[in-house]
Amino acid sequence: MINTALVQVRVDEALKDEVTNIYNHYGLDLPTAIRIFMKKTVAVNGLPFDLRDDSNKKNIWQYFGSGKDIEMNISAEPDFSANTKLETM
């Protein structure tokens, strides 16, 4: 028999209800969904999703300016023909 451990977490009741409804939609109960999360964490050796700090997005233009002075050479219609060669690095 596999040794098991009890994990207890306090969360907002509305959050619990919301995630329970989402997991139920996929045929999962909350304990199974949590086990899946934990196993995926081990499989990827980290959080199974990207963490992003978007707080700097609103301030990015103060560091780089408005961008209006940037020259861009973008073709209106990209060439996807078979004769187009990809440059190698």
Using DSSP's 3-state secondary structure scheme, residue 37 falls into helix
Distance CA 22, CA 60 (A): 35
pLDDT of residue 89: 44
pLDDT tens digits for range 51-67? 777 766 666 666 666 55
37, 46, 47, 57, 63 from 51: Cα distances, Å: 15, 11, 8, 14, 23
Sorting pLDDT into bands at 50, 70 and 90, what band is 45? very high
Average pLDDT, the chain: 79
pLDDT tens digits for range 12-24? 999 999 999 999 9
Would the pTM count as exceeding 0.85? no
pLDDT of residue 15: 95
